[in-house]
Amino acid sequence: MPQSRPVYSFNNIIVRAPSQSVVNGLRAADRGSPTFEGVKAEHDGYVAAMKDAGVKVTVLPALEAFPDSIFVEDPALVFTEGAILLRPGAATRMKETAEIEPTLRQMFEAVLDLPGTGYADGGDVLTTSESVMIGLSARTDRAGAEALRGCLDKLGRKTEIVATPEGVLHFKTDCSLLDDETMLSTGRLARSGAFKKFKQMIIPEGEEPAANALRVNDVVMVGSDFPRTIEMLDKAGYKVVPLKTTEIGKIDAGLSCMSLRWFSNTS
């Protein structure tokens, strides 16, 4: 779909305040539990960075019943053209969709429901200038990906379904868009051939979690625990904003997970 502006141009985001229960969030590996104070500090820094990048931030209240609900990107997708309500692949997260639905129906004219019985997480969806890439993973199955493709088609968005490497939680765990032509990727995802249409910058070995960076307008937000990745991006001419992600990293999360981002033509 032709874009009138870069796909990383945003003027609105939705975030959700972390709950005290966030310390019980899902995780694939035990890296210790985060503290609520630590997660809140990282979330506060994230919101401040978004405002500095020129984005209007809508903060939703914490949901104690849903430890992972700070990660608003998984139960929904948003675009200039409308929003899509998803069906998360983790059983404990499925009801988060109903919690965010009223906000999306208030803010978007078009809100689509994912049809069928398949699963799809927003963490597996990467919007590029070429298409919307949907990664198959433990959280997004083929049925969910095909159903999502149908929704995206209704919004006028071209899609591409790709494979996520074994053992990788979400497609965007291992990649992020740096600009219209360039992808930041781990070596294992780059080897899959998913990004043949793009220039690729490969994450230095040992800093793989840094791949979940986030381009917002003129800046690239990167986890501050990854100095070699920051140096690489800085030398390549990107305006890097390092953000602390140590605590959220303990519950398998990164920077893209914590917001729903779009450009509103009416703002």
Which residues does the annotation mark as catalytic? 170, 257
Whether residue 103 contacts residue 55, with contact meaning beta carbons closer than 8 Å, is answered with no
Dist. CA 92–CA 90, nearest whole Å:
6
Distance spanning both ends of the chain, measured CA to CA: 22
CB atoms within 10 A of CB 201: 18
User: Tokens representing 115?
Assistant: 């049809």
Dist. CA 76–CA 85, nearest whole Å:
5
List, as one string, the DSSP characters of 169-186.
SSGGGSEEEEETTEEEE-
What lies within 8 Å, CB to CB, of 145 at 6+ separation is 118, 120, 134, 136, 161
Q: State the alpha helices, DSSP H only, in the chain.
A: 36-52, 96-107, 142-154, 187-190, 227-235, 246-249
Whether residue 22 contacts residue 34, with contact meaning beta carbons closer than 8 Å, is answered with yes
